[in-house]
Amino acid sequence: MLAGTIAWIVHQAVFEPGTASAWPWLGLAFLAVITRHGLQALRDWAGQQLAFRVRGDLRERMVATAARIGPVHLAHRGHSGAWASRYQEQVDALGGYYARYLPALGLALAVPLVLLAAAFTQDWVAALLLLFSAPLIPVFMALIGMGSQQIHEAQQDRQNRLAGHFLDRVRNLDLLRRSLALDAATDEVAEAAQGYRRLSMRVLRVAFLSSAVMEFFSAVAIGLVAIYVGFALLGFLDFGPAGQMTLFSGLFVLLLAPEYFQPLRQFAQSYHDRASAVAAAEALAPLLREPPLPQSEPEPLPAGAAPTLLRLERVSLHYDPDGPPALDDLTLSVAPGEDIAIVGPSGSGKSTLLALCAGFIRPSAGSLALAEPARHFAWMGQRAHLFHGNLRDNLLLGAPPETGDRELIAALGAAGLRVDDPTLPKGLDTPIGEGNRGLSGGQAQRVALARALLSDSRLWLLDEPTSALDPETENDLLSRVLEHARQRGVTILLATHHAAVYGRMRRVVRLDQGRLREDGDV
Ligand code: ADP
């Protein structure tokens, strides 16, 4: 419309000056400009909205998948740095597909067809020139596109590895410093970053190349149309409609030509959005297609005559369907208030048994039944996992929301940590860094015990909670664990291979290669 009105105004001005006012036509041109920009803004807004929704939905599904497969399997599905990079960058990479590529694709299909039809009404030779130059573009684009996707995949894979690599080095900075390996680690990170940079430059090169190809062909085609119109107007051509070309029809076709290529150019520019989105989608798809866990929820255990908190019935568990079982035909019954040591050499299935009782993994065969109180458990591992924040936030995790500072301080005291200890300069407000920074290993375990006390759980699952501590701290912490658990009637399942630890427990279950070797009261 804009091209038509401009062509008409020029035509009128040149051939019939003064016969008609140009104002209505200028008004029409103005309206066309406004409509055009309004529609473009609407298209951008709709694209962004769509991208926003898709990204939000995808992130929700990733979190749900992570929760569904649980911590044990998750740890084996890649490094946490790679997870973070997928969650952030790769989900973002999908946004470009919806925000830019899809709208550009729609326009690239529709707009040239409409403009072609408009050009045909004025001059079929010029329209044919446009028609035949357009298909060259997708052909060359496809050739470039084939290579670009592989480069995008390699780039994203490298990005994930770089994220994991960097996170590992940062987490273990103190270890690297102590072992004087800091320079080597710095070089390694720099090398990995250079590799990533090189790949990113290749991605950009391909993006520029595809735009340049597009620009070249559209410039050639527009040039051809311009030459044709010029010669026709000068009267050098007398075939087909060229003889009857007027200034209006010539100008109209010439003004349409760049518009005809504009959506195709935009399409070419957004083409690398598609390549990066497809590569990201291929990395994300397996996560979202994680098969459901092999078995349903643990069965409830009715409160019967013989009180049982937890019962495993001929349970087997395979991490790898073709490998040896981590637990093999295990039958075990636990009564409320028992304290049980699970002992056995490394790899005998102790952690697996605890993870099973926690519901982090499900048995491959056999059944697990839990009484209601066992569904609310506290967990302590070798190293307490404290979150970045302050001591109060970390204690409140899992505690009832109305818990006050007095109760927090009492629980810390019961775990053997005084809140006025000089190492906790701000008491409950003492900041705790990532990886428990600011606390010693023993203090962190005491915080974990305080957390267990505050959570009021009836079942404590303890996976070698004292193995990283010195004997004195180990002894003290264990005494406190047993004292509080017995006072409160809490059931303890504690994995250990330390005689000093299991010697203090009332029942010892011995595992060997996933099988029950011995189960006895001490
Ligand atoms: P323990 O705690 O007694 O050292 P685990 O329960 O950690 O023993 O391991 C039992 C067996 O299961 C080992 O052979 C171990 O390699 C394997 N295993 C443990 N966790 C996983 C896992 N997430 N994926 C695959 N195999 C695992």
Residue 326 Cα to ligand 1 middle (Å): 6
| Residue 296 reports pLDDT greater than 60 | no
Q: Which two tokens stand for residue 275?
A: 């390549």
Ligand 1 pocket test, pick from 76, 293, 319 with the greatest ligand atom count within 8 Å of Cβ, gives: 319
The pLDDT score that the predictor gives to residue 295 is: 52
* Bridge partner list, 300: 370
Query: Which whole number is the average pLDDT over 31-53?
Result: 88
CA–CA gap between residue 521 and residue 505 (Å, rounded): 9
The minimum-distance atom of ligand 1 relative to the CA of 327 is 10
Report the 3 state secondary structure along 285-305: HHHHCCCCCCCCCCEECCCCC
Percent of the chain with pLDDT over 70: 91
337 touches 310 (CB < 8 A): no
Whole-angstrom distance, CA of residue 204 vs CA of residue 275? 12
In angstroms, the CA 340 to CA 359 distance is: 18
Total Cβ atoms within 10 A of residue 184: 11
Residue 41 CB partners (closer than 8 Å, separation 6+):
none
342 within 8 A of 501, measured Cβ to Cβ:
no
Nearest CA to ligand 1 atom 14: 347
The identity of residue 487, as a single letter, is Q
CA angle 17, 19, 20 (to 5 degrees): 105
- DSSP bridge pairs for 340: 493, 507
Residue range 217-243: average pLDDT? Answer: 81
Dist. CA 352 → ligand 1 center (Å): 6
Q: What is the pLDDT of residue 268?
A: 75
Top-ranked range on mean pLDDT: pick from 252-256, 329-333, 386-390: 329-333
Q: In which residue are the tokens 């664990």 written?
A: 481
393-428 residue pLDDT tens:
888 887 888 888 888 888 988 888 888 888 888 888
pLDDT at residue 303, as a whole number: 62
- Asked if the 300-521 domain carries CATH number 3.40.50.300, the reply is yes
Q: What is the pLDDT of residues 54-75, one digit of tens each?
A: 999 999 988 888 888 888 887 7
Question: What is the domain partition of the chain in residue ranges?
Answer: 2-288, 300-521
Does residue 393 or residue 126 have the better pLDDT?
Answer: 393
Q: Which of 317, 319, 326, 324 is nearest to 347 (CA)?
A: 326
Count CB-CB contacts under 10 A for residue 328: 19
**How many Å lie between the centroid of ligand 1 and the Cα of residue 354?**
11
The CA–CA distances, whole Å, from 186 to 153, 173, 179, 192 equal 26, 10, 13, 10
Q: Give the ligand 1 atom nearest the CA of 320.
A: 25
* Ligand 1: centre distance to CA 347 (Å): 6
> How far does the centroid of ligand 1 lie from the alpha carbon of residue 343, in Å?
14
Please give the angle made by the CA atoms of 156, 159 and 165, to the nearest 5 degrees: 145
Q: Give distance in angstroms: CA of 350 to centre of ligand 1.
A: 8
CA 348 to ligand 1: nearest atom:
3
Q: How far is the CA of 77 from the centre of ligand 1 (A)?
A: 15
- What's the CA-to-centroid distance between 200 and ligand 1, angstroms? 38
Alpha carbon nearest to ligand 1 atom 16, residue = 347
Give the closest residue to 445 by CA, choosing from 378, 376, 385: 385
Mutate which of 351, 362, 502 for ligand 1? The one with the most ligand atoms within 8 Å of its CB, which is 351
Of ligand 1's listed atoms, the one at least distance from the Cα of 361 is 23
Measured in angstroms, how far is the CA atom of residue 237 from the centroid of ligand 1?
84
Average pLDDT in the chain: 83
What does pTM read for this prediction?
0.69
Residues 158 and 89: beta-carbon distance below 8 Å: no
- pLDDT on residue 462: 92
Supply the pLDDT for residue 350.
93
Which residue's alpha carbon is at the smallest distance from atom 22 of ligand 1? 319
Nearest C-alpha to atom 10 of ligand 1 is from which residue?
349
- Listing DSSP states for 308-343 in one string gives -SEEEEEEEE-SSTTS--SEEEEEEEE-TT-EEEEE
Spell out which residues line ligand 1, taking CB within 6 angstroms.
72, 76, 319, 326, 344, 346-352, 495
Q: Which class is 2-288 in CATH?
A: mainly alpha
* Lookup: tokens for 255: 């003004």
